[in-house]
Amino acid sequence: MPKSFTTLLDPDVVRDPHPTLAELRRTSPVVWDPVIETWLVTRHEDVKAALGDPRFSRDRRLTKSYTPPDPETWAARHDEYTMNVSDETQHRRWRKQLSAGFTPRAVRRMEGLVRAVVSQFARPLIRRRGAVDLVAKFTNPIPNTVISRITGIPPYPGEEDRFRQLGQDVIRQFFPMADAENKRRGEQAMNELAEWIGKLADERRQEPQDDLLSDLIVGNQGEDAMSNVEIIMQIVVLVAAGSETTTLGGTHAIRLLLEHPDQLALLRADPSLTRNAVREVLRFDFGGAGSMPLVATEDLEIGGVVIRRGDMLMSSVSSANRDETVFDAPDRFDITRDTRETLTFGSGPHYCLGANLALQELDCMLEGTLEFLPEGARLIDDELEWESIGLMRRPVNLPVDFG
Ligand code: HEM
């Protein structure tokens, strides 16, 4: 093990994982973290292979260290019912039930809705002066509003803020190494969301509407019919997987462009670079050093290291995205580079179901930003606040001086 590596939980690693990940790629590409009790894989080739390897499961109940949550809690139901932790047969079933709503064609149909939501939050920022927090005013509300409109929850205006807060509380309890407070708040939020979605599901059974919640009910009849718990869990996964992540992508996108004025100027001069700029943001700076845990279902070997059945493994996408054997000068933020090997949406059968939607939202968010952000706008560095949750570190705000 390299001298400088003790654990991914080291606050210096959480603050900036890249120097440590670069060293691990060079010296110990498959390394044991004795504090988290997980293997960490850092080279692009190994990260991609592990994500697509059927011998790894996302079902954390298979880990040796799994402590079952109280069976009456939503944390327990989450471990049993959600697509991103379930195994093959169940996974295929749930993924099929949801996927029709997320094909490239379906997402193109949503473009008008996404544009309308982005414009709702971008319009008030045009010709603004002074300091503006773009997380609060722009990147935070958009993804959750989009997902609540698509799913059909909540149907009434005015409830979107509460819905957004619940979605964010839910996802934080599932971040690797989330603390007790995040778990407690997550459980509370799940109770409220479950009641909300369950009631709406009952209403949609009586009177279907033009939304995903109704599609899940109408489109899955007979032996495919979904129970209320299944519906609640799949919708919660969409809300949780689709809001905080996309908010983070949008926040990093604006931050990185403000920190790299040459790249911002390039994008202003050639807006056809937007999609690649989004991909470069996701490559350059997205999550923390770890990943959602995988569990080995049999003894196997990666790079000469034996992983035992039941061992936990994190496939470090952040590290893969900076692998110098795949990306030229990986520590340079360059919106014109070839970004095709970026792994931020995962790889293999669990590849992010919402990737097309997320990319479309982020494209629209960047286009909206270029419209409202005046030339000369600057990031107010000393007011930028960061928050660490487990292995992740994220900006809580994005203070920008509009001049
Ligand atoms: C920038 C935004 C996003 C990022 C970076 C992201 C990333 C990911 C990653 C890394 C995975 C796990 C892949 C794996 O296990 O191999 C995943 C799974 C998933 N994501 Fe996303 N995601 C984003 C946005 C969204 C959105 C907008 C939605 C839907 C509304 C969504 C829905 C899902 C679902 C349902 C899964 C589980 C897929 C499965 O297990 O088959 N995500 N996402």
Which of 149, 256, 345, 392 should be mutated for ligand 1, with most atoms under 8 A from CB?
345
CATH at 347: 1.10.630.10
Query: pLDDT digit string (tens) for 360-383?
Result: 999 999 999 999 999 999 999 999
Residue 233, ligand 1, Cβ within 6 A: no
User: Is residue 30 one of the residues assigned to a domain?
Assistant: yes
Q: Is 354 in the pocket of ligand 1 (CB under 6 A)?
A: yes
- How confident is the model at residue 86, as a pLDDT? 65
Q: Is 294 in the pocket of ligand 1 (CB under 6 A)?
A: no
Atom of ligand 1 nearest to the CA of 361: 27
0.75 exceeded by pTM: yes
- Domain membership of residue 174 (yes or no) is yes
Does 276 map to a domain?
Answer: yes
Domain range spanning residue 274?
Answer: 11-401
Report if residue 366 sits inside a domain: yes
Q: Does residue 6 belong to any structural domain of this protein?
A: no
- Flag whether 60 is in a domain: yes
Q: 345: CA distance to ligand 1 center in Å?
A: 6
User: Residue 334: inside a domain, yes or no?
Assistant: yes
**Cβ of 242 below 6 Å from ligand 1:** yes
Q: Does 1 reside within a domain?
A: no
Is the CB of 290 inside a 6 Å radius of any atom of ligand 1?
A: no
Number of structural domains in the chain: 1
| 78, 339, 352, 360: residue to mutate for ligand 1 pocket, most atoms within 8 A of CB | 352
Q: Which atom of ligand 1 is nearest to 94's Cα?
A: 41
% of the chain with per-residue pLDDT over 70: 96
pLDDT in tens, 44-94: 999 999 999 999 998 878 877 777 888 888 888 877 777 666 667 778 888
The full 3-state SS of the chain, as one line of letters, equals CCCCCCCCCCHHHHHCCHHHHHHHHHHCCEEEECCCCEEEECCHHHHHHHHHCCCEECCHHHCCCCCCCCCCCHHHHHHHHCCCCCCHHHHHHHHHHHHHHHCHHHHHHCHHHHHHHHHHHHHHHCCCCCEEEHHHHHHCHHHHHHHHHHHCCCCCCCCHHHHHHHHHHHHHHCCCCCCHHHHHHHHHHHHHHHHHHHHHHHHHHHCCCCCHHHHHHHCCCHHHCCCHHHHHHHHHHHHHHHHHHHHHHHHHHHHHHHHCHHHHHHHHHCHHHHHHHHHHHHHHCCCCCCCCCEEECCCEEECCEEECCCCEEEECHHHHCCCCCCCCCCCCCCCCCCCCCCCCCCCHHHCCCCHHHHHHHHHHHHHHHHHHCCCCCEECHHHCCEEEECCEEEECCCEEECC
Mean pLDDT value across residues 384-399: 90
